[in-house]
Structure 1
Amino acid sequence: MKTPSQPRAIYYIVAIQIWEYFSFYGMRALLILYLTHQLGFDDSHAISLFSAYASLVYVTPILGGWLADRLLGNRTAVIAGALLMTLGHVVLGVESDSTWSLYAALAIIICGYGLFKSNISCLLGELYAPDDSRRDGGFSLLYAAGNVGSIAAPIACGLAAQWYGWHVGFALAGVGMFIGLLIFLSGRQHFRHTRGVDKPALRAVKFALPTWGWLLVMLCVAPVFFTLLLENDWAGYLLAVVCVFAAQMVARIMMRNPEHRRALWQIVLLMLTGTLFWVLAQQGGSSISLFIDHFVNRHLLDIEVPTALFQSVNAVAVMAAGVALAWLVRPEGSVRSALRVWLKFAFGLALMGGGFMLLALNARRGELHDQASMGMMVAGLALMGFAELFIDPVAMAQITRLNMPGVTGVLTGIYMLATGAVANWLAGVVAQRTTESQISETAIAAYGHFFSQMGEWTLGVVVAIVAVIIVRRMLSSTAVCLPETPQD
């Protein structure tokens, strides 16, 4: 049977998604290295700024989604987000070592990411009818496109930064985003049926100004606001306020749906466990990147491999692990769904813990031989990348199984807030344990101890999850085998 073809518009969405990932992950691969090498930040300051930036880009999509739903439409929001991200990368690409321009550039990218990130998926969803069988294939294509961009970006931007300078690497990320935007705009005729700007709502006057006027005010104020947050390290305060509101939303959902309370508690536990996982996974952009830069022997055939290139290992591992995806969609068999979900989570955490133990072993090797092994580093990062397949896809599938209209989207957003914004901020707090005033033998020992502790704690959580699963299975089997009580 012939597979129905995808809508033409999807190819323009895929193109801009590839280049958005290229720009974001290209800049992300360079950022902490730029802070330490070019601006002279110590490791502690660099990690704090990196984690604040990485957490804020997962907070702003909440507001970006709200603006798209009520005023702009998904397509206009995506275009505006891409323009802002291009501008932010251009500011980074200007030859300047001013910290103010750095904060301003990151703030602009944060605003652009907020308009782009959630709305590109919503725009893709507009291409299909609710019962269209092509929808799943379209989202799979979008996911694969992102991985292509995240593989290519650290390689291209890392080499450009090493050969021509940091600002060329950042500028290349911006050029990539602009190319993606031009391709997307060239296909505008294929998006005529999608929801556009709500012009009456934009013209409506509120508090002496039309809504479009307030949007312009917000466009000017938001970058300044995020610049101040980054400069003063206040991101944690904003995140705390957002998390309080998110917790209240979850509590209200539970109170209004008592019949689903057990399933909702499982979602909450998945969120907490997923946050733990991503606190560990996000070390790749901060503490692990600094460890590679300081201590790993990166020479291969008389060529020094740029540190930024190691950021591609994770995405390559995800792309190469298609076999795991096939396993994830197998029939459940005799194992109950809830237990199967936690077994997959436990396996993902076990892989992550194993990856950290491998990095700890590599750090010990570095203490003995002055430099850590590049091969062991790649193996550890690949193991961590493979682990991702057993966390987010499983959790998102479980959330979407809830038969609760009007709730699934909210819970998905809160899950992304927890595993994106909260996890990135906590990752910076955790990574501070690796910092030392000088790069020395003491520092590599600190990294080894840190990696070992992360691995041990993660494997401890795995043991706890498996123990609970075994106890529940035993109790369930005992309940089934109990004889019925005779009735009088």
Structure 2
Amino acid sequence: MTDGGRTFLGHPWGLATLFGTEMWERFSWYGLRAILATFLAASPAHQGLGMSDVTAQAVVGVYGALIYLVALPGGWIADRVLGARRSVFWGGFVIMLGHISMAIPVTSAFFVWLGLLLIISGTGLLKPNISVMVGRLYADDDARRDAAFSLFYFGINLGAFFAPIVVGWLAAGDRWHLGFSAAAVGMAFGLVQYVWGGKALRGVGERPGLRLSPRERRRFGRLFALAAGATAALLAVWAATGTFTVDRLTVVVTAIILIVPVAYFGYILLGSHNLTQDERIRMKAYIWLFVAASIFWMIFDLAPSKLLFFAQDHTELSLFGIPIQPATTQSFNPLFIMIFAPVFAALWLRVGTRVSTPQKFGFALVMVGTSFVVMAAAAALAGAGRVSVWWLVLVYLIQVFGELSLSPVGLSVTAKLAPEAFKGQMLGVWFIAVSVGDAIGGQTGRLTAVLPDAMYYLVLALAAIAAGLALFMFARRLRVMMAEHHEPAMR
């Protein structure tokens, strides 16, 4: 698809529109994430909500988990109701409202919870559908498609790199709501850029793929109203008993999130769905990869909570003699991604299929586990005083090696192993793995009630490394189940 010859680095100009929109949306998301846990845990005297670190970690974990979980209904709404283009706009608009709600400088927590709920809802509409629109800019046989996604993901990491620096600086000195305002402004820039560059999209995502009939709209409207009403009633009854707390709510939500993949995989494997025997075997292999990915994200996504608290409380916040904010440490990961992503892309191309998917996942788990061995050492040293921020730099560097071995492979292997009857749905299952990992990771903070920090990091490290070694041990068997054949590598 072209648009009158105007190009963006050799690509349709519509890619520039989507690139900028996603960059600003990620700026708002990572900006909020970089200060959320420390804001929740700050005392009311410091303009925070006064939660314990454990509860704040659980809230951040559930928040991240729901962000990925709602990508499934968000994709469905685009396919059946709004179309991708309107879903992205309204998603961004709701996200902006969420950040504005959080930026209101009042002491009541109501606007904070309202803001987080709006951001979760808006991200579910925007995040999955803007990626779909990138793909639709190109014909199926257009060789530029892979390069387009590489540029698109560079935009994601560009926004993720600058956001913690800017928002962290603005929020310093208990100016949390000023930081939240920056996230709102970032999303507003993204929306303006999206509308302004809309013509370059040339109709991409204008209509739903299969619009709901009026009868279906009424039926789903009733179901949604019933579900929303039942949820509100249950929360009201729980609150009336006097036992409702935010901490307990995170436990309930985590349990619900864990039920989702169990129910989904049970539905696939226990029903007929005209699955062949080979498809069932491949799905059983995929479940092991799903569990491995969940363990990886359980540790990796502790960056905006447990590692952020470590940066705030136990780290000398200075790089090359320049003072930094705790939130700035969240910029290390996207910086390393931008540096090493081309290296790993070339590496996987060179080794070909000599390194199997289970081996890549196993390596990722060993890397993320090793990063927490480093964290255990840093935590032990922190008992005698603050440690250098370079410990965190090393941790994030090691984690990036794991991320680049697992994250780019995840969607690809999900699409490959999906049964024919579930091709479209299964891509969303990969995001459920992230959701499960985030939710469990948020709850691991409770271990610190019985374990010192150094032992906490070491326990999680050993769990990840053991899971990684198990994948290496069974890699050959899983490769057979996946029908992943060995082929010579490119030279």
Pairwise TM-score range, normalised by the shorter structure: 0.7 to 0.9
* 1:9–1:372 distance in 2 versus 1, CA, 3 Å: same
Q: Is the 8 A contact 1:317 1:386 kept in 2?
A: no
CA distance in 2, matches of 1:215, 1:244: 23
Question: Does residue 10 of structure 1 match 2:10?
Answer: no
CA distance in 2, matches of 1:113, 1:226: 25
**Hey, what does 1:451 align to over in structure 2?**
457
Per-residue CA deviations over 1:413-451 (Å, capped at 9, x if unaligned) read: 112112x21111100111222358xxxxxxxx7111111
Which protein has the larger Cα radius of gyration, Structure 1 or Structure 2? 1
Question: Does residue 275 of structure 1 match 2:290?
Answer: no
* 1:406–1:472 distance in 2 versus 1, CA, 3 Å: closer
C-alpha deviation, 1:348, in angstroms:
1.6
TM alignment of 1:422-433, pairs within 5 A: 422-433=436-447
**Hey, what does 1:359 align to over in structure 2?**
375
Tell me the amino acid that sits aligned with residue 78 of structure 2: A
* 1:153–1:253 distance in 2 versus 1, CA, 3 Å: farther
Long gaps (5+) in structure 2: 1-7, 43-47, 237-243, 480-491
Match for 2:281 among 259, 262, 267? Answer: 262
Per-residue CA deviations over 1:315-340 (Å, capped at 9, x if unaligned) read: 1121111212211122536x3xxx62
Tell me the amino acid that sits aligned with residue 27 of structure 1: L
Question: Does residue 340 of structure 1 match 2:356?
Answer: yes
Per-residue CA deviations over 1:244-269 (Å, capped at 9, x if unaligned) read: 44223432478612122332222221
Per-residue CA deviations over 1:313-367 (Å, capped at 9, x if unaligned) read: 111121111212211122536x3xxx62222222222221221111111111112
Comparing 132-141 with 169-178, which one deviates more in the overlay?
A: 132-141
C-alpha deviation, 1:40, in angstroms:
1.1
TM-score, with structure 1 as normaliser: 0.84
Tell me the amino acid that sits aligned with residue 185 of structure 1: V
Q: Is the 8 A contact 1:71 1:202 kept in 2?
A: yes
Comparing 6-15 with 185-194, which one deviates more in the overlay?
A: 185-194
TM alignment of 1:7-406, pairs within 5 A: 7-37=12-42, 38-162=48-172, 165-197=175-207, 204=214, 231=246, 232-233=249-250, 234-251=252-269, 252=271, 256-299=275-318, 304-321=323-340, 322-332=342-352, 335=354, 340-367=356-383, 369-402=384-417, 404-406=419-421
Per-residue CA deviations over 1:372-399 (Å, capped at 9, x if unaligned) read: 2211121112211221001121232223
Tell me the amino acid that sits aligned with residue 426 of structure 2: L
Comparing 385-394 with 69-78, which one deviates more in the overlay?
A: 385-394
Tell me the amino acid that sits aligned with residue 298 of structure 1: L
C-alpha deviation, 1:61, in angstroms:
1.4
Q: Is the 8 A contact 2:95 2:122 kept in 1?
A: yes
C-alpha deviation, 1:188, in angstroms:
1.7
* 1:195–1:452 distance in 2 versus 1, CA, 3 Å: closer
CA distance in 2, matches of 1:99, 1:314: 30
TM-score, with structure 2 as normaliser: 0.84
* 1:26–1:224 distance in 2 versus 1, CA, 3 Å: farther
CA distance in 2, matches of 1:80, 1:221: 23
* 1:120–1:215 distance in 2 versus 1, CA, 3 Å: farther
* 1:147–1:469 distance in 2 versus 1, CA, 3 Å: same
* 1:59–1:221 distance in 2 versus 1, CA, 3 Å: farther
C-alpha deviation, 1:241, in angstroms:
4.8
Tell me the amino acid that sits aligned with residue 426 of structure 1: I
CA distance in 2, matches of 1:332, 1:198: 38
* 1:195–1:292 distance in 2 versus 1, CA, 3 Å: closer
Q: Is the 8 A contact 2:79 2:208 kept in 1?
A: no
* 1:5–1:260 distance in 2 versus 1, CA, 3 Å: same
Comparing 324-333 with 13-22, which one deviates more in the overlay?
A: 324-333
C-alpha deviation, 1:108, in angstroms:
0.6
CA distance in 2, matches of 1:227, 1:83: 27
**Hey, what does 1:484 align to over in structure 2?**
none
Tell me the amino acid that sits aligned with residue 326 of structure 2: T
C-alpha deviation, 1:13, in angstroms:
0.3
CA distance in 2, matches of 1:328, 1:401: 17
C-alpha deviation, 1:463, in angstroms:
2.8
C-alpha deviation, 1:190, in angstroms:
2.0
Tell me the amino acid that sits aligned with residue 269 of structure 1: W
Q: Is the 8 A contact 2:361 2:406 kept in 1?
A: yes
Tell me the amino acid that sits aligned with residue 265 of structure 2: A
Identity within the alignment, %: 27
CA distance in 2, matches of 1:413, 1:111: 16
C-alpha deviation, 1:65, in angstroms:
0.8
C-alpha deviation, 1:66, in angstroms:
0.8
* 1:253–1:181 distance in 2 versus 1, CA, 3 Å: farther
CA distance in 2, matches of 1:272, 1:466: 14
CA distance in 2, matches of 1:410, 1:202: 18
CA distance in 2, matches of 1:89, 1:358: 35
* 1:407–1:93 distance in 2 versus 1, CA, 3 Å: same
Tell me the amino acid that sits aligned with residue 38 of structure 2: L
CA distance in 2, matches of 1:341, 1:18: 30
* 1:198–1:351 distance in 2 versus 1, CA, 3 Å: closer
C-alpha deviation, 1:7, in angstroms:
1.4
After superposition, the CA RMSD in angstroms is: 3.4
Give the SS at the match of 1:41. coil
Give the SS at the match of 1:194. coil
CA distance in 1, matches of 2:337, 2:309: 23
Give the SS at the match of 1:329. helix
Q: Is the 8 A contact 2:84 2:205 kept in 1?
A: yes
Tell me the amino acid that sits aligned with residue 318 of structure 1: I
Q: Aligned residue pairs: how many?
A: 456
Tell me the amino acid that sits aligned with residue 319 of structure 1: M
Q: Is the 8 A contact 2:80 2:212 kept in 1?
A: no
